[in-house]
Chain A
Amino acid sequence: KQEVTQIPAALSVPEGENLVLNCSFTDSAIYNLQWFRQDPGKGLTSLLLIQSSQREQTSGRLNASLDKSSGRSTLYIAASQPGDSATYLCAVSPLYGNNRLAFGKGNQVVVIP
């Protein structure tokens, strides 16, 4: 069974610093990996999706990398802003079988002005 881990569960950074969030998974047979943002009491917003054949994906200040063989992905947020405060979740899609995503528990981020 795929296990997805995100450590630490919570972190705080001063405004302007770069954010680095890590996601690890136990089974490298993945189809893709997706990063989401969740604000309190809200649904999940898709940030980036990386196909298993890709090494990284970028959108604005966000960059996500994928090292499938070692079971790791990193989300970088450049020049963090207070508006980046949220919970960030990663999820992996299996290569075989059904389309069930396996989620990590998330990194709760606070950007301090």
Chain B
Amino acid sequence: DGGITQSPKYLFRKEGQNVTLSCEQNLNHDAMYWYRQDPGQGLRLIYYSQIVNDFQKGDIAEGYSVSREKKESFPLTVTSAQKNPTAFYLCASSMGGGSEAFFGQGTRLTVV
């Protein structure tokens, strides 16, 4: 069953903690993306990767970090430097080159 799996679905973070959101895909896609979604705002790009071992900053990369060691995986770490991390995080993948994008079911991160 092909698709994109994000885990966990809900995540709670204490002040000053780093947390890592998982994103795995079995679609054999080259490109992967992380977006942040806040109420009343559109999706904002955090980081993206077009190939293994390479990634670029999006529009709101400050306070976040990523890695792309495997084609299937693109984890996102929300660091303590991110001052307002409470949001809905979405991972996506595509074949690249402007091809159709597919999304995971999202992770809702809440700071407690």
Question: What is A's interface to B at a CB cutoff of 8 Å?
Answer: 4, 31-32, 34, 36, 41-46, 49, 89, 91, 93-95, 98-101, 103-106
Which residues on B are within 8 Å of A, measured CB to CB? Answer: 4, 6, 31, 33, 40-43, 45, 48, 50, 56, 58, 88, 90, 92, 94, 96-98, 100-106, 108
Q: Name which of A36, A45, A100, A106 has the most chain B CB atoms within 10 A of its CB.
A: A100
On chain B, the residues within 8 Å of A49 by CB distance are: 100
A91 to B45 alpha-carbon distance, docked (Å):
12
| A–B pairs, 30, beta carbons within 8 Å | A4-B42, A31-B97, A32-B98, A36-B103, A42-B105, A43-B4, A43-B104, A43-B105, A43-B106, A44-B92, A45-B103, A46-B101, A46-B102, A46-B103, A89-B42, A91-B43, A91-B101, A94-B98, A98-B48, A98-B50, A98-B56, A99-B31, A99-B50, A99-B94, A99-B97, A99-B98, A101-B101, A103-B42, A104-B42, A106-B42
Q: A91-B43, A101-B101 are in contact. List 19 more A-B contacts (CB 8 A).
A: A34-B101, A36-B103, A42-B105, A42-B106, A43-B103, A43-B104, A43-B106, A45-B103, A46-B100, A46-B101, A46-B102, A89-B43, A99-B31, A99-B94, A101-B45, A103-B42, A104-B42, A105-B40, A106-B42
Chain B residues positioned under 8 Å from A4 (CB to CB): 42
Residues of A within 8 A of B97 (CB): 31, 99
Ordered nearest first, which 10 A-B pairs have the shortest CB separation? Answer: A31-B98, A93-B98, A44-B103, A43-B103, A105-B42, A43-B105, A103-B43, A103-B42, A43-B106, A49-B100
Chain A: CB-nearest residue to B92: A44
Tell me, rounded to whole Å, the shortest Cβ–Cβ distance linking B92 to chain A: 8
Chain B residues with CB under 8 A of A106 = 42
